Amino acid sequence: MTTVTMANVSLSYGTRPALRDVSLVVPSGSLVAILGPSGCGKTSLLMALAGLVSVNGGTVTVGSRELSSEHHRIPPEQRGVGWVPQSASLFPHLSVGDNIGFALPKGRRRNERVDELAYLVGLEGFLNRSPGQLSGGQAQRVALARALAPKPDVLLLDEPFGALDSVLRHSLARDVARILRDQETTAILVTHDREEALDLADFVAVMDRGRIVQVGTPREVYESPATPWVASFVGDTVELSGVWRDDALNCSLCGSKDFCGPAENRLGCTGHVICALGDVAATSQVGEPRDGDQVRVVVRPEWLVPSQQGITAKVETVAYAGHDALVEFSLAGHSERVRARIAAPFLPAVGQDFSLALRHPALVFPAVDGAAALP
Dist. CA 365–CA 242, nearest whole Å: 10
Other Cβ atoms within 10 Å of 201 Cβ, number = 23
Confidence band for 143, pLDDT divided at 50, 70 and 90: very high
Partner residues linked to 340 by β-bridges: 327
Each residue's pLDDT tens digit, 27-53: 999 999 999 999 999 999 999 999 999
Average pLDDT over residues 122-136: 92
Dist. CA 221–CA 219, nearest whole Å: 6
Dist. CA 183–CA 201, nearest whole Å: 15
Task: Give the torsion sign (CA, 252, 258, 263, 269).
Answer: positive
Dist. CA 296–CA 223, nearest whole Å: 16
Amino acid at site 10: S
Residue 266 confidence (pLDDT)? 46
Task: Give the torsion sign (CA, 103, 105, 107, 113).
Answer: negative
Nearest residue to 230 (alpha-carbon basis) of 162, 298, 327 = 298
Dist. CA 299–CA 309, nearest whole Å: 18
Residue 253 confidence (pLDDT)? 56
Dist. CA 59–CA 312, nearest whole Å: 56
Return the C-alpha torsion angle 155, 184, 34, 81, nearest 10.
-20
Other Cβ atoms within 10 Å of 94 Cβ, number = 14
Residue 11 confidence (pLDDT)? 96
Residue 92 confidence (pLDDT)? 92
Average pLDDT over residues 166-180: 88
Share of the chain above pLDDT 90, in %: 69
Q: Which residues of 328-343 are buried (b: 16+ CB within 10 A; e: fewer)?
A: bbebeeeeebbbbbbe
Each residue's pLDDT tens digit, 96-121: 999 999 988 888 889 999 999 999 99
Residue 307 confidence (pLDDT)? 87
Residue 106 confidence (pLDDT)? 84
Residue 108 confidence (pLDDT)? 83
Confidence band for 346, pLDDT divided at 50, 70 and 90: confident
Each residue's pLDDT tens digit, 253-304: 555 544 444 444 445 677 889 999 999 889 888 888 888 999 999 999 999 9
Q: Which of 58-72, 204-218, 311-325 has the highest mean pLDDT?
A: 204-218
Dist. CA 133–CA 44, nearest whole Å: 32
pLDDT of residue 252 exceeding 80, the answer is no
DSSP 337-368: EEEEEEEGGGPPPTT-EEEEEE-SPEEEEESS
Return the C-alpha torsion angle 317, 319, 323, 324, nearest 10.
-30
CB of 56 closer than 8 Å to CB of 21: no
Amino acid at site 2: T
Return the C-alpha torsion angle 309, 314, 316, 320, nearest 10.
30
Dist. CA 210–CA 194, nearest whole Å: 18
Q: What is the CA radius of gyration of the chain?
A: 24
Residue 344 confidence (pLDDT)? 83
Q: Where are the alpha helices (DSSP H) in the chain?
A: 42-50, 96-100, 108-120, 136-148, 166-182, 194-200, 218-223, 228-234
Instruction: Work out the widest C-alpha separation in the chain, in whole angstroms.
Output: 77
pLDDT of residue 127 exceeding 80, the answer is yes
Domain 4-231: CATH architecture, name and number where available: 3-Layer(aba) Sandwich (3.40)
Tell which wins on pLDDT, 162 or 194: 194
The mean pLDDT of the chain is: 89
- For the chain, first and last CA: distance in Å? 37
Average pLDDT over residues 194-203: 96
Dist. CA 23–CA 6, nearest whole Å: 5
Any idea where the domains of the chain sit in the sequence? 4-231, 236-367
Average pLDDT over residues 66-84: 92
CB of 62 closer than 8 Å to CB of 80: yes
pLDDT of residue 189 exceeding 80, the answer is yes
- Residue 375, Cβ density class (10 Å: 0-12 exposed, 13-18 middle, ≥19 buried): exposed
Tell which wins on pLDDT, 255 or 332: 332
Nearest residue to 361 (alpha-carbon basis) of 273, 233, 263 = 273
Confidence band for 1, pLDDT divided at 50, 70 and 90: low
pTM value is 0.88
pLDDT of residue 20 exceeding 90, the answer is yes
Beta strands in 217-303 (DSSP E): 238-245, 271-275, 278-284, 294-299
